[in-house]
Structures are given as C-alpha cells and as structure tokens.
C-alpha cells in the first residue's frame, strides 16, 4: 500500500540539487514558500500588529532554546490562562 499523504520539507537554499533529485525521481512537489524566514517574519509582524504576542516576561519566545519540559510547562500555563470557561445560565 502506498502512502500518498503530503510531506512538508524545509530545505536550505544552499541545497540546489534537491529539486533536481525530485524531478529525476519523478516525485511530484509543490514549493509553498521560497523563503521560510519571510513567512516567519510576516507572521511575527502580523501577531505584533494584532497584539497576539505572548508574555515575554516569563518565556523568551525569540532568543532562547527551550527544552521539551520547558515547552510543555509553558503550553500547560497558556492552556490554563487562556482556556475557555464554562458559562452557566
């Protein structure tokens, strides 16, 4: 059985032979973004405009590598802080 689900792959622009290898192997592909950094920058700018940036006082989202445990803890914190509350009538 062949798995035909799409796969998202990020490839460095320096890997110029990657698309050639796909073509030579008759593998269909679609380039979603030529510069992933531009996608990230645009999303960050949009979030700043819309006031959707997270609180950097407790968790540095931009300049720090975090362990899996730290990320899980932060996600749990966000979940409890922003979880929808039941409304009673």
Query: Could you tell me which residues come within 8 angstroms of residue 33 by beta carbon, excluding any fewer than 6 positions away?
Result: 39
Quick: pLDDT tens for 51-83: 655 555 567 777 777 788 888 888 887 777 666
Per-residue pLDDT for 86 more than 60? no
Query: Could you tell me which residues come within 8 angstroms of residue 22 by beta carbon, excluding any fewer than 6 positions away?
Result: 29
**Structural domain boundaries enclosing 39:** 7-52
Q: For residue 58, which of 78, 39, 86 has the smallest C-alpha distance?
A: 78
Residue 42: helix, strand or coil by DSSP?
Answer: helix
pTM for the model stands at 0.43
Residues 18 and 43 grouped into a single domain: yes
Per-residue pLDDT for 23 more than 80? yes
Per-residue pLDDT for 89 more than 50? no
When pLDDT is averaged across residues 32-36 and rounded to a whole number, the result is 84
Residues 46 and 63 grouped into a single domain: no
Residues 11 and 46 grouped into a single domain: yes
Cα distance between residue 34 and residue 86, in whole Å: 43
Structure tokens at 9: 């792959």
Residues 11 and 48 grouped into a single domain: yes
């Amino acid at each position: 059985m062949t798995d035909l689900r799409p796969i998202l792959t990020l490839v460095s622009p320096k890997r110029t032979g990657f698309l050639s290898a796909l073509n030579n192997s008759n593998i269909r592909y679609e380039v979603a973004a030529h510069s992933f950094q531009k996608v990230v920058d645009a999303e960050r700018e949009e979030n700043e405009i819309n006031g959707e940036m997270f609180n950097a006082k407790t968790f540095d989202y931009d300049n720090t590598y975090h362990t899996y445990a730290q990320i899980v803890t932060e996600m749990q914190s966000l979940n409890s802080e922003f979880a929808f509350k039941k409304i009673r009538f």
